[in-house]
DNA sequence: CATAAATGATACCTTTGGGTATTATTTAGA
DNA sequence: TCTAAATAATACCCAAAGGTATCATTTATG
């Protein structure tokens, strides 16, 4: 009952980059701030670029930049790009046809919970995240990972 | 952003058994109704027994029975026995010390969401699940698994 | 135009969750 | 007291997620 690690990483990255939305960030710079395992970070950044949330610039002095206006990127938009969006309409007990055949015992109660979650995730945009600061996006769990690149 | 498959299984099992709370169910009978992969089901049932949610009776004509009054078993109680309880106090971005060092941008909003979830999971007991019926706990995804025992 | 510094692609390794197989133990009842 | 039918324990297997390594490509700049 969490987001996957990968989704958390994506949320951190996008939120961090939102602090300076025009800026072109290199993977190195993001790594320096967020301490996400470097090679995995690189992979994730290309994923986010392919998904359209980021624009990548190749070559020396290249990097990544947020592609749209901050107000147009909701947390759900980010979450959905990392495959962690299953919860959207899912039955509490994990039955695939819950809504269609018979309601399960938790159907209505859980629908309300999901609605609450969805409401927060769709209405909270990076713009709001930016404005909510100052705050720490810095992972200070002394990373066991090395950069190695 | 779901419960794990194992947690879903546990929720199905306990909810199913709550339909007849005094009854001693054999693994076979539960399998016949829920179609959870048989050997995994067996394993899970011993886990639930060790956790105290179920009482197991060994030997021929043995089986499992819910150990307490239905009103004393909340959904959270079940969820916590399958290791899926991380969400309880967890930061939106997955930072371990979010609450202690600096609040993250989502801290308050997400705390409210978690509170909502916790409220539902702690106040909904198996008694309520039982009363909410009739409903289907029957997995009709034509199982690809065989029983094999 | 060579080099350095960046991203892209791809293949591989590791850990964990889900699932299986085998053997041991318990106990009701013929 | 033997057998059948149940649970207990344990070890193993497989797939997916997380993470690493290597090489290729792009491009600013000396």
Nucleotide nearest to B144 (CA to C1'): C19
The answer to whether B9 touches A93, Cβ cutoff 8 Å, is no
B32 in a structural domain: yes
| Residue ranges with strand state E in chain A | 54-57, 63-66
A68 in a structural domain: yes
Q: What are the average pLDDT values for consecutive 10-residue runs of chain A, which has 149 residues?
A: 89 95 97 95 98 97 97 96 71 74 81 92 95 61 58
Task: Tally Cβ neighbours within 10 Å of residue B62.
Answer: 11
Domain interval for residue A70: 5-140
Task: Round to whole Å and give the CA distance between B18 and B137.
Answer: 11
Task: Round to whole Å and give the CA distance between B87 and A94.
Answer: 18
CB of B148 nearer than 7 A to strand D: no
Task: Round to whole Å and give the CA distance between B132 and A34.
Answer: 46
A147 in a structural domain: no
| CATH number, domain with residue B37 | 1.10.10.10
Q: CA–C1' span, A33 to C4, in Å?
A: 23
Q: CA–C1' span, A54 to D23, in Å?
A: 25
A119 in a structural domain: yes
Number of domains in chain A: 1
For residues A73-98, one letter each, b for 16 or more C-beta atoms within 10 angstroms of the residue's C-beta and e for the rest, the string is bbbbbbbbbbebbebeebbbbbbeeb
pLDDT tens per residue, range B97-109: 775 556 787 888 9
pLDDT at B6: 95
């Amino acid at each position: 009952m969490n987001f996957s690690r990968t989704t958390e990483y994506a949320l951190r990255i996008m939120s961090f980059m939102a602090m300076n939305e025009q800026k072109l960030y290199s993977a190195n710079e993001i790594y320096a701030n967020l301490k996400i395992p470097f090679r995995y970070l690189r992979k994730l950044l290309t994923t986010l670029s392919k998904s359209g949330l980021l624009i990548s610039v190749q070559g020396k002095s290249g990097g990544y930049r947020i592609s749209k206006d901050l107000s147009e990127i909701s947390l759900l938009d980010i979450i959905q790009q990392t495959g962690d969006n299953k919860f959207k309409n899912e039955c509490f007990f994990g039955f695939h046809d819950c809504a269609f055949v018979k309601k399960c015992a938790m159907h209505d109660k859980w629908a309300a919970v999901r609605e609450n979650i969805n409401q927060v995730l769709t209405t909270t945009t990076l713009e709001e995240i930016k404005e909510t600061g100052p705050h720490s996006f810095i992972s200070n769990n002394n990373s066991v990972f090395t950069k190695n690149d």
